[in-house]
Amino acid sequence: MKPVIFNNTVLRDGHQSLAATRMTTEQMLAAAPELDKMGFGALETWGGATIDSCLRFLGENPFDRLRTLKKLAPKTPHMMLLRGQNIVQYTSFPDDVVEAFVACAAAAGVDIFRVFDALNDLRNVQTAVRAVKKAGKHAQGAISYTTSPVHTPAAFLEMAKEFERLGCDSICIKDMAGLICPPVASALVKQIKASVKIPVVLHSHNTAGLAGTSYFEAIEAGVDMVDVSIAPFANGTGQPDALMMHAMLEGTPRCPAYDADRHVQLVEHFRKVYEQLAEFTSRNNERTDVDILRFQVPGGMLSNFRNQLKEQGMSDKWDQVVAEIPFVREKLGWIPLVTPTSQIVGTQAMLNVKFGRWKNIAQPTADILLGKYGRTPGPIDPELRALAEERTKQKAVDCRPADLLEPRMPGLREELKAKGLPVNDENAVLYAMFPQQLEAFHKPKAAAPAPAPAKPAPAPPAPAEPTAGRHYRIIIDGRLHDATVQTL
């Protein structure tokens, strides 16, 4: 049996899970060359919420970060997390934008693209996977793992086979909420390994204290790689620490060689960084959270959800709202709870408790009901879909959502030109996703003081037209954002 391969997530998921994605490139510089010497299968350095965070909070060009890290760590493949047709945002983008984004990311240094869809609708990953292969890079198809009556081992196995058919080079079981338990991890890995030829990775979070043991069982069952991090950007809501995982495997045939001395030096470095980021870290994220096992919702979502309810003056309604989450999820076709669907389900559960069931339907909920995010894993409640059609005066669709979108790249280049911003594909794809943030980034520094990471983000400008929306704080990637949610 070959030793298991460790992938390292400290420069992406590690700080996204434990420090609100606020680690700066500066704070990564000393660590990157050391990480490059440790024989990791991949360094996850980009994607997820890092691109948003670079522009919104850190005043950094995300592509420059990638090029810098690639230069400092040239030996180990760099990996990014890509939300399929959503790229790194919360809605669908046209194919030409997805293709341009992948081409830019590949040129700037991404070697492995881990591609997933929040609904597990694989029509939403096809374009991205094709673009990755066209760029000559490694496409990893990621299954969004969750538990529900429709998320059977057979359904996950079908997805794995479909990823292989799409031309993926490997498969990831992406357990974003840390729900997978050891026997399930073992059985799922065995089944997938028996049915596909490509390597299999397990990605989990130690939110409920299960990840290390589930990794161990998955490794015994033959998984090829697991994702680990480095303390203190490890454990808790993050990935298990690499040295801890190594210790757990010592003496077994699958234990990889691992440089413990260098790991300890890196822990020293990251401890300092963790202290520098103190205002973005939380004891709640470091602890094991069993609520996740009771309510089957991601731990990061639960802790932020408490704040959200408080702001709405609904703290006393906690039990009711939490109980409403599985109800909403079932009516919405048992969608997995991962960005952006976790926010959608949570907000709708809150609205249902506050105003009565379906008295107010948030716009994103209606979009799920109308098929605009894609096909849900289970059937959508037909009465609720009819209600959404009636209130929005729109018909539900069953096609791939991006089929309804016109190409945007030529228009985006025109807009950049009109705004006096540098016209290139990198700016065009960033502008498609984060127009205000990109404009602010390119403003002359004298006119716009560099965003201070210590302060909360400025509220987005009021929409030009008055809307009937309600003001809510919504959770995006574990952080609270002010947002006006249009209710119907």
- For binding to Co ion (CB under 5 A), which residues are involved? 13, 176
For residue 427, the tally of other CB atoms under 10 A from its CB is 22
Nearest 5°: CA angle at 185, between 181 and 186? 120
Choice between 110 and 402, CB closer to Co ion: 110
The answer to whether the beta carbons of residues 484 and 470 sit under 8 Å apart is yes
Choice between 106 and 180, CB closer to Co ion: 180
Q: How far is the CB of 20 from Co ion (least distance, A)?
A: 14
Q: Which residue number has the CB closest to Co ion?
A: 13
Choice between 13 and 289, CB closer to Co ion: 13
Q: How far is the CB of 303 from Co ion (least distance, A)?
A: 16
Choice between 387 and 476, CB closer to Co ion: 476
Q: How far is the CB of 86 from Co ion (least distance, A)?
A: 16
Choice between 176 and 225, CB closer to Co ion: 176
Choice between 13 and 60, CB closer to Co ion: 13
Q: How far is the CB of 181 from Co ion (least distance, A)?
A: 17
Region at 40 (left for phi over 0; alpha for psi -120 to 50; beta for the rest):
beta
Q: Cβ contacts of residue 143 below 8 Å, gap of 6+?
A: 116, 120, 156, 159, 160, 163, 171, 172, 173, 174
Choice between 16 and 312, CB closer to Co ion: 16
Question: How far is Cα 259 from Cα 255, in angstroms, rounded to an integer?
Answer: 12
Choice between 15 and 385, CB closer to Co ion: 15
Q: How far is the CB of 481 from Co ion (least distance, A)?
A: 19
The answer to whether the beta carbons of residues 52 and 24 sit under 8 Å apart is no
What's the one-letter identity of residue 210? L
HSE-up of residue 174 (Cα within 13 Å, Cβ side) = 27
Nearest 5°: CA angle at 201, between 197 and 202? 135
Choice between 151 and 331, CB closer to Co ion: 151
Q: How far is the CB of 215 from Co ion (least distance, A)?
A: 13
Choice between 304 and 427, CB closer to Co ion: 304
Q: How far is the CB of 338 from Co ion (least distance, A)?
A: 9
Q: How far is the CB of 205 from Co ion (least distance, A)?
A: 6
445, 447, 450, 451: CA torsion to nearest 10? -150
The answer to whether the beta carbons of residues 50 and 479 sit under 8 Å apart is no
- H or E element, residue 264: helix 260-276
Residue 261 burial (10 A CB sphere; 0-12, 13-18, 19+) = exposed
Choice between 178 and 401, CB closer to Co ion: 178
Phi, psi angles (nearest 5°) of residue 298: -55, 140
Residue 78, SS3 per DSSP = strand
Residue 331, SS3 per DSSP = helix
Q: Cβ contacts of residue 459 below 8 Å, gap of 6+?
A: 482
The DSSP bridge partners found for residue 22 are none
Q: How far is the CB of 241 from Co ion (least distance, A)?
A: 15
Kindly report the three-state secondary structure assignment for every residue of 113-143: EEECCCCCCHHHCHHHHHHHHHCCCEEEEEE
Q: How far is the CB of 196 from Co ion (least distance, A)?
A: 22
Q: How far is the CB of 256 from Co ion (least distance, A)?
A: 21
Q: How far is the CB of 203 from Co ion (least distance, A)?
A: 6
Report CA-CA distances (Å) from 124 to 89, 199, 266: 13, 22, 38
Choice between 176 and 302, CB closer to Co ion: 176
Residue 85 C-alpha from the chain's centroid: 13
Region at 474 (left for phi over 0; alpha for psi -120 to 50; beta for the rest):
beta
Question: How far is Cα 229 from Cα 204, in angstroms, rounded to an integer?
Answer: 11
Task: Please give the span between the terminal C-alpha atoms of the chain, in angstroms, as a whole number.
Answer: 57
